[in-house]
Structure 1
Amino acid sequence: MTPVLLLLVAIADEHKALLHARFRVIDAPTPALRAAALAEQAADIEYVLTNGSVGFTGAEIAALPRLRLLAAQGAGYENLDLAAARARGVPVCNGAGTNDDCVADHTLALLLASVRALPRQQAALRAGQWRDALPLYPHFTGRRLGVIGLGQIGRKIAARAAAFGMVIGYHNRRPSDAAGAARYFPSVLELAAWADDLVVATPGGAGTTHLVNAEVLTALGPGGHVVNIARGSCVDTAALAAALREGRIAGAALDVFEGEPHWPAALDGLDNLILTPHVAGWSPQAIRATVETFLANVDALQRGAPLLTAL
């Protein structure tokens, strides 16, 4: 009998075809479809593929008597109820490592666009202004980049920034053996006071909510830029909007933000803010890799072998 997969994330048809080749797929990327699938087909579902933002609750885990594997598509898993899964004996995995390069590339693109004010410069040019009428914007060499969260993605961001001649500092809960020449700071506030720019690359969840707040933004200073590719909850939106409007920082670029997919009204009308729609980890290569990693975890489970990316 073909195993049944509850798919809670939207993915392209070319990648979904890999799943259809192995499963009867219940495609439920919206709250209404999800609720209907759980109400009508809970007895059949053996596998769940979600992501950190969409999550999967303890009540939903309890409603699936045949559940064999709960998987997060990407690296994040903050809204998966791991305790409930473990209490049921259901293994959990994620897609760690599958989109690291894509996220790191996007991060540098956002940082470059913000520091060099590319949207502002294009708008000025289209309005008939030439370079002599515009401010000068800094280049990267010698700027200090503070990375909040020097995990796998944070290290790839740091390596790319170092190739541009940036000096790297970071904050983790504890110093990292893999930090290389990067300088450790025991608090986000101390990192911000040292840095010219900040990149937020830490996991989401209650422990990192509003890690970047008004005090941190003030410490970063009027020449600083903030890039968030982690979770929207990591940055205090109201504090960021105020800092941008008042010139207490120079710019920000967000791939994630509180309340997505609808950006907060506080962010309207800011020409020193760049937004992208939570696509830092999305490329054809990266999405295919997430699906292939999920399938490899399924194969391992069926063989009785350890999961590749167990949580």
Structure 2
Amino acid sequence: MTKPVVFIPNRISESALALLGERCEVDYRDIEEKLDDESFFAALQQADGLMVYSRHKITPAVLDKAPRLRIVSNIAVGYDNLDLPALTARGILATNTPDVLTETTADLTFALLMAAARRIPEADRFVKDGQWNEWRPSLMLGKDVHGATIGIVGMGRIGEAVARRAKGFDMKILYHNRSRKSDAEQSLGAEYVTLDELLSRSDYVVLMTPFTPDTEGLMGARELGLMKKDAILVNTSRGRVVDEQALIQALTERQIGGAALDVFQTEPIPKDNPLLSLPHVVTSPHIGSATRETREKMAMKAARNMLAGLFGERPENLLNPSLLP
């Protein structure tokens, strides 16, 4: 029997590649950079399965060039890069990789929060640029994390993991979510509040909501205006959850205390973006899940999803379950 062809346009772990190679013909590109469109579409013509990171946008135009495609295995928990209705309409399975990156992304989220609170990147530059000539009582004064109030917008798996870290710092935990999480309330002492109340009471506002039409631009000028003057906004969800121009204005005019951002409206962020020149903004290049251990687990989960979809089984992380009722 002819083996199904799996196209992987970017580097993944050797163990995931070996797992797929046992049962599939793998068209694999061992590169970090994004494959050019001509090569990508040429390979897609022969692919039964496609395994991609979230930077690849799978649109109807892309699917038009994939006549054999049966499954797209996303190596990410977020899947706003996939046109799910278009995939479903064509009978193409779609999967993602939740759970395995929860703790890693929560680590990065809390690290950004602390870096912004204690001005760590700014202090690092201050020392390395040779500006530290004497100690002063007001040198690099930051903002306490322990005992402060954190507001988590989106209490999913990662939101709850962030809340667990906040509890360890004796923080007051507020959250806003589409539905209440009684378990989190009982185990973490989290308080369910409206979004407006969360914004007005929190010292740190952490965005953990998925990107959907309802959450696009969720944090606009009005919402930012509700935050405390010294509050810090942390975003490790998706860049388009925040109205970036409104955020730039709020930061420039010191309406809020600062921001810590792993995601942006346009990625990579343009080099002339004002966010990059503001000293009270901490940035990182979309590295929420970027540890060796977690990327290995993501690739293995994506490979198992791929094999299940290609060989008549129900993938564990199926995004369009109507195709396999």
Report the TM-score when normalising by structure 2: 0.86
1:279-298 equivalences in 2 (<5 Å): 279-298=287-306
5+ residue gaps, structure 1, are none
Provide the rounded CA distance (Å) in 1 between the counterparts of 2:249 and 2:74.
35
Provide the rounded CA distance (Å) in 1 between the counterparts of 2:98 and 2:240.
20
Which residue does the alignment assign to 1:195?
Answer: 202
Which residue does the alignment assign to 2:276?
Answer: 268
In the alignment, is the contact (CA less than 8 A) between 2:218 and 2:243 conserved in 1?
yes
Which residue does the alignment assign to 2:76?
Answer: 74
Q: In the alignment, is residue 165 of structure 1 matched against residue 170 of structure 2?
A: yes
Q: In the alignment, is residue 310 of structure 1 matched against residue 318 of structure 2?
A: yes
Q: In the alignment, is residue 209 of structure 1 matched against residue 233 of structure 2?
A: no
5+ residue gaps, structure 2, are 320-325
2:228 aligned to 206, 209, 221, which one?
221
SS of the residue 2:279 aligns to = coil
1:1-311 equivalences in 2 (<5 Å): 1-8=2-9, 10-11=10-11, 14=14, 17-18=17-18, 21-22=21-22, 23-27=25-29, 33-38=36-41, 40-125=42-127, 126-128=130-132, 129-134=134-139, 136-180=141-185, 181-187=189-195, 189-263=196-270, 265-311=273-319
Query: How has the CA–CA distance of structure 1 residues 18 and 223 changed in structure 2, closer, same or farther, with 3 Å as cutoff?
Result: farther
Provide the rounded CA distance (Å) in 2 between the counterparts of 1:41 and 1:247.
50
SS of the residue 2:7 aligns to = strand
Report the TM-score when normalising by structure 1: 0.90
Q: CA RMSD in A?
A: 2.3
Tell me the CA shift for residue 20 of structure 1: 6.9
Q: Deviations over 1:163-207 (max 9, x none)?
A: 1111111111222344322111233x3211121111111111322
Return the letter of the residue paired with 1:121: A
Provide the rounded CA distance (Å) in 1 between the counterparts of 2:315 and 2:13.
26
Higher relative contact order (CA 8 A, sep 6+): 2
In the alignment, is the contact (CA less than 8 A) between 2:116 and 2:281 conserved in 1?
yes
Return the letter of the residue paired with 2:71: L
Query: How has the CA–CA distance of structure 1 residues 293 and 130 changed in structure 2, closer, same or farther, with 3 Å as cutoff?
Result: same
Query: How has the CA–CA distance of structure 1 residues 261 and 115 changed in structure 2, closer, same or farther, with 3 Å as cutoff?
Result: same
Return the letter of the residue paired with 1:292: M
In the alignment, is the contact (CA less than 8 A) between 1:204 and 1:230 conserved in 2?
yes
Return the letter of the residue paired with 1:186: T
Query: How has the CA–CA distance of structure 1 residues 53 and 174 changed in structure 2, closer, same or farther, with 3 Å as cutoff?
Result: farther
Q: Deviations over 1:235-293 (max 9, x none)?
A: 12112122222221111111111111024622132110111111111111111111100
SS of the residue 1:268 aligns to = helix
In the alignment, is the contact (CA less than 8 A) between 2:116 and 2:259 conserved in 1?
yes
Tell me the CA shift for residue 219 of structure 1: 1.4
Return the letter of the residue paired with 2:275: L
Provide the rounded CA distance (Å) in 1 between the counterparts of 2:33 and 2:86.
23
Query: How has the CA–CA distance of structure 1 residues 45 and 29 changed in structure 2, closer, same or farther, with 3 Å as cutoff?
Result: farther
In the alignment, is the contact (CA less than 8 A) between 2:47 and 2:69 conserved in 1?
yes
SS of the residue 2:184 aligns to = coil
SS of the residue 1:103 aligns to = helix
